[in-house]
Structure 1
Amino acid sequence: MITVENVSKSFRTTESDAPVQALHDVNLDVEAGALFGVVGEEGAGKSTLARCVALRERPDRGSVRYDGLNTTTLDGRKLREAQSQVAVVDSRLRPERTVAGNIAAPLERVGVDGTRRRQRVATLLDVIGLSRAAAQVPADLTPGQQRRVSVARALAGGPALLLADDPTSGVDADESGAVLSVLDRARAELGATVLLTTSDAGVAGRVCDDVALLDHGSVVESGNLLTLAGTRGSRIADELLPSVETSPSEAARFDVVVDVVLVGFASVGALLPEAGSRFGVEIATIGGGLTRFGDTPVARFRIGLRGQRADAALAWMAERGAHVTHTLCGLRTVAA
């Protein structure tokens, strides 16, 4: 468990005598074994927060705790020991070394013997899907493959925490999925806790369990992605969920028009038709669409209902996990 408690950090710049507040009273809880995403625009404070969590920066106020240990009080050998449990993905590879040689470099520095080093490198090459590229040099690889090698190198020493600051920057959309898949495997197969920062909420939506939205150095929203999906007013969910647009003339055809979020295979696939059949009402999808948060299907639909028991149908759906997030017309008794 990583706990960030009331962390604030400021810097002085050459442009101004006044310090720039990079972080302001930030609080986060990152569960062991989680893949946690910090989302925010450029300049929101994501990299500063990442450096504080990785013990590369000391906060001005507040603390970063590892399993209850206040790391901000550590120095000397104890600080170095704590830092050794954290690996930061560095995209700069040594051009003269092979893929295997780049991954092996951290192990060589700490004196791991040849047999164990080769075994570890082989395992990591398999994790990143580049076993056949072991003898190639970075120049032979695509940007996405190079980034995967960088992740493997960071994982070489078996860190408890892997920090990936904007891991898909400079990687095209076709290859970014493979990079994110490696981070997911690092968590699932190697037991690392992964902290990912990104300016693209879609990146977090593809692999993260929990997310926090950082805005001008403050956390303005945080939680489990699937929970946020059905939370009214969630900025993260609004960015990740399909947009819904309907013409007034189309909406006017129905007695009730609402926006609804459905999470999970059963809800997305069966809840609307079952509600229509059970209550004898017509339910039509008139806007929205389907996406995925990780492996879980999530839909935001604008639906129109026609029939005397439309409100009862929506209440029944809400009892089974549907989230009514916005009412356009007609709904009288169903709470969001």
Structure 2
Amino acid sequence: MITVENVSKSFPSTHSPVVALREVNLVVNAGSLFGIVGPKEAGKTTLARCVALRERPDRGTVRYDGMDTSRLAGRKLWGAQRQVAMMEPTLRPERTVAGNIAAPLERMGVEADRRRSRVGTLLDVIGLSRSGARLPSELSPGQQRRVAIARALATEPSVLLADDPVDGVSSEESGAVLSVLDRARSELGATVIVTSRDADIARRLCDEVALLDRGTVVESGTLLSLLGKPGSPIAEALLPRVDTPRALLSSYDRAVDVILVGFAAVGALLPEASARFDVDFTTIGGGLTRFGDTPVARFRLGVEGQRADAALAWMAERGAHLSTPMFGLRDVAA
């Protein structure tokens, strides 16, 4: 487990120090895929470098399994840093794909047979088993980024930090890059921390997420738990929009926003509630999406029937996240 405790970091400038991080607190669970998202200059890269032990905070500390890394120096600090790899996107142009991946192992003095075995494993993980002899110039930007991830994983680190891993990569190729990060966690056992300006990467990839803005954590938690949190900016950014003309709402006894998480809820909860309580649901906004492998629906529903309140309460008991109901004009007039 990685614990970031009250971390602050500033950098000198000609006028006054630039504050990059302000009293940041985070918990990254071992084996998780953690996303740090936020706008440009939010402090994401600085936080990643502090977690990777490449920057020392001005105040606060980063703990690994309870160990206070601010007290480490010399060989002990170097040993801790070896357990945390950062993806560096630039490859050495004169070396082959296999040669780039093997470079960290060569610096460590790993024998040739073990290097070849590790490189072969990683080429398979990144889906480039037949490209080991190619040069970086022969690869697409997305393929180059996958090689950079493999190089970072070569020394079998416990933690991998990928700072903006799909920056400059086309949307068609970004999925393959994110898939490699997922395999790094699921197959190689690494804790993976990803930073990005695009919050949608968290929806596609992460279990846990933190929203950073102006060096401050706005909110954090498991992604699915944030979906039902009232006013969550992460949920609002990632869930389908539910804009509906007010005139349309007046056609129904009730209008309510509902968030359904998981296959069972998305597929069966509304039809079962309709049949059980003899109410009619009409979808008047929203849609379906996925958070990783989990289907999530956000609908604005028009509800009609005398037992509408009972139906909505029954759904809430079974995990549906319901907003404060909005009453249609028919009810207001009554």
TM range (shorter): over 0.9
Shift of residue 258 of structure 1? 0.7
C-alpha distance in 2, partners of 1:205/1:306? 33
Match of 2:12 in 1: 12
Match of 1:203 among 201, 204, 212: 201
Match of 1:175 in 2: 173
Match of 2:332 in 1: none
C-alpha distance in 1, partners of 2:229/2:23? 24
Match of 2:232 in 1: 234
Mapped contact 1:128–1:182 kept (Cα < 8 A)? yes
Report SS of the residue matched to 1:132: coil
- Provide runs of 4+ in structure 1 moved above 6 Å: none
Match of 1:251 among 234, 246, 249: 249
Provide, for residues 279-313 of structure 1, a one-character-per-residue CA deviation record: whole Å limited to 9, x for no partner.
00111111100000000001110001001000110
- Unaligned 5+ segments in structure 2 are 329-334
Match of 1:108 in 2: 106
Letter in 1 for 2:188: L
Provide, for residues 40-87 of structure 1, a one-character-per-residue CA deviation record: whole Å limited to 9, x for no partner.
100100000001000011001100000100001111111101101110
Give me the identity figure in percent: 69
C-alpha distance in 1, partners of 2:154/2:318? 45
Output aligned runs, 1:181-330, within 5 Å: 181-329=179-327
Letter in 2 for 1:5: E
C-alpha distance in 2, partners of 1:214/1:77? 32
Letter in 2 for 1:222: S
C-alpha distance in 1, partners of 2:190/2:132? 23
Report SS of the residue matched to 2:187: helix
Report SS of the residue matched to 1:186: helix
Change over 3 Å in CA distance of 1:326–1:144 after alignment to 2 = farther
Match of 2:77 in 1: 79
C-alpha distance in 2, partners of 1:111/1:22? 37
Mapped contact 1:260–1:326 kept (Cα < 8 A)? no
Output aligned runs, 1:39-188, within 5 Å: 39-188=37-186
C-alpha distance in 2, partners of 1:114/1:165? 30
TM-score (norm 1): 0.96
Shift of residue 247 of structure 1? 1.7
Shift of residue 326 of structure 1? 4.3
C-alpha distance in 2, partners of 1:149/1:13? 36
Letter in 1 for 2:3: T
C-alpha distance in 1, partners of 2:182/2:3? 21
Shift of residue 328 of structure 1? 1.9
C-alpha distance in 1, partners of 2:158/2:325? 45
C-alpha distance in 2, partners of 1:214/1:284? 37
Letter in 1 for 2:250: A
Mapped contact 1:231–1:325 kept (Cα < 8 A)? no
- Unaligned 5+ segments in structure 1 are 331-336
C-alpha distance in 1, partners of 2:249/2:268? 23
Match of 1:333 in 2: none
Shift of residue 314 of structure 1? 0.3
C-alpha distance in 2, partners of 1:10/1:245? 41
C-alpha distance in 1, partners of 2:180/2:186? 10
C-alpha distance in 2, partners of 1:112/1:326? 61
C-alpha distance in 1, partners of 2:103/2:57? 31
Count matched residues: 328
**CA RMSD for the aligned pairs?**
0.8
Letter in 2 for 1:129: G
C-alpha distance in 1, partners of 2:323/2:225? 13
